[in-house]
Amino acid sequence: MTLAVEVTASGGAARVTTVTTARGSFTTPCFMPVGTRGTVKSLAAPDLEALGAEVVLANALHLALRPGAATVAALGGIHRFSGWSGHLLTDSGGFQVFSLRPEVDDDGVTFRSIYDGTPTRLTPEGVVELQGTLGSDLAMVLDECPPLPSPPEVVRAAVERTVAWAGRSRRAPRREGQALLGIVQGGTDLALRAECATRTVELGFDGYAIGGLSVGEPRPAMLEALAATLEHLPADRPRYLMGVGDPVGLVEAIALGVDLFDCVLPTRLARHGHVLTGEGRLALRNARFAADDGPLDAACGCPTCARWSRGFLRHLLLVDEPTGPRLLSVHNLAWVLDLIGRTRAAIAGGRLTALRNEVAASHR
């Protein structure tokens, strides 16, 4: 194993941990801003450092296609390339590939590049090698993520292939010090989730991710499938729920015992003029904010809230000034990272239920 987990506080299934890796350590619960191509859209590494982010996610597939893994390695690896010195997790790109309806066989997947249509092949071993070349701290295995809803036989086939590919990934040569995380699939079938989790844990990964959720299924079904999975994941490994970043989803999953999250939602909302606040989500283009001299959120201490009014930021959006989405992205990420910090404090202080009720009331 290339990482260690120390639980520093707990409340029910929820927990606060320190994860130690070859690079250093970070604290969970942890939200990872998504820098698909090596940077979070409209932001740079100093912005993320100022906001207190500890781990950033990049997409190995996108970087392999542009500029190429060899180019990233020649420029010093993903950390020097992106200017980010904190922890960095690379996703395999499997989720993006399966949205392209690739040709799938037991050995891997074939698809056409989203950039120039070039035929591209991914295999479990190749994905591990690719992430080693990029030099990330945490790497993900290749998995098959079926759309929901899918027929039971499709979900079963995806589980079988995911487990088989996980075994091949686990046996593949790996970059020294790089942690490798297995992924659990199974749709919303509780028994299949439990089975996939058990079989994946038997392979012995550094951490475990839950994939294939928050893809359109009702929230109760998501939480039931998540709970069924977490029951079979070891307490001494990080648990990562992929692709969840809405406030209610975050606090509910933390209450069930999830440690790590990633999602494009905060910055995507910002680019569309939507703001996360303690009052709920605000559509800043609304005319009622035209002469509003207040900050986006009076309780937020981010650089955007400290300096600019709702009225000014709305003006930037309406005249298509790129600074607008950038400043909203700073705020939305700051707000989510602060929410995660509040969950840590709530777990340690026995107040998580109160925080869950607060977030549910304002972010239905």
Virtual CA dihedral for 302, 272, 43, 56, nearest 10 degrees? 90
- Rounded to 5 degrees, φ, ψ at 109 are -130, 145
Q: Which of 356, 362, 361 is nearest to 342 (CA)?
A: 356
Instruction: Report the alpha-carbon distance of residue 209 to residue 192 in Å, rounded.
Output: 15
Question: DSSP letters along 107-156, please?
Answer: TEEEEE-TTT--EEEE-HHHHHHHHHHHT-SEEE-------SS--HHHHH
Q: Where are the domains of the chain?
A: 4-263, 265-364
Query: What residue has token string 């740079």?
Result: 44
Q: Which pLDDT score, from 0 to 100, does residue 163 have? A: 98
Mean pLDDT of 194-216: 97
Give the residue-averaged pLDDT of 229-238: 98
pLDDT of residue 112: 92
Sheet bearing 239-241, strands edge to edge: 30-33, 260-263, 239-241, 207-210, 179-184, 138-140, 87-91, 55-59
The two most distant CA atoms of the chain are separated, in Å, by: 61
pLDDT of residue 28: 98
Contact 360, 248 (CB under 8 A): yes
- Cα separation, 42 vs 44, in Å, equals 7
pLDDT category of residue 324 using cuts at 50, 70 and 90: very high
Q: 320 in helix, strand or coil?
A: coil
For 312-332, what is the mean pLDDT?
Answer: 98
Does the pLDDT of residue 277 top 90, yes or no?
A: yes
| Cβ atoms < 10 Å from Cβ of 18 | 13
DSSP tag of 289: G
pLDDT digits (tens, 9 = 90+) for 84-94: 999 999 999 88
Which residue out of 91, 137, 143, 246 is catalytically annotated? 91
The total number of residues written for the chain in this structure: 364
Q: What architecture does CATH give domain 4-263?
A: Alpha-Beta Barrel (3.20)
| Per-residue pLDDT reduced to its tens digit, 243-272 | 999 999 999 999 999 999 999 999 999 999
Is residue 364 scored above 90 in pLDDT? no
Q: Note the pLDDT of residue 355.
A: 98
pLDDT score at 100:
82
Question: In the numeric block, which tokens belong to residue 134?
Answer: 């990029």
| pLDDT band, very low/low/confident/very high, at 95 (cuts 50, 70, 90) | confident
Catalytic-residue membership of 262: yes
Q: What is the pLDDT averaged over residues 1-22?
A: 96
Mean pLDDT, the chain, whole residue set = 97
Residue 57, strand partner residues = 34, 89
pLDDT at res. 96:
83
Q: With 80 as the cut, is the pLDDT of residue 187 above it? A: yes
- Confidence band for 25, pLDDT divided at 50, 70 and 90: very high
| Span 115-137, pLDDT tens digits | 999 999 999 999 999 999 999 99
In this predicted structure, what is the pLDDT of residue 46?
Answer: 98
Look up 91 and say whether it is catalytic: yes
Catalytic residue among 246, 259, 262, 297: 262
Mean pLDDT calculated for residue range 306-312: 98
DSSP single-letter state for residue 22: S
Residue 1: band (very low, low, confident or very high) from pLDDT cuts 50, 70, 90: confident
Residues 6+ apart with CB under 8 A from 45: 39, 82, 83, 84, 85
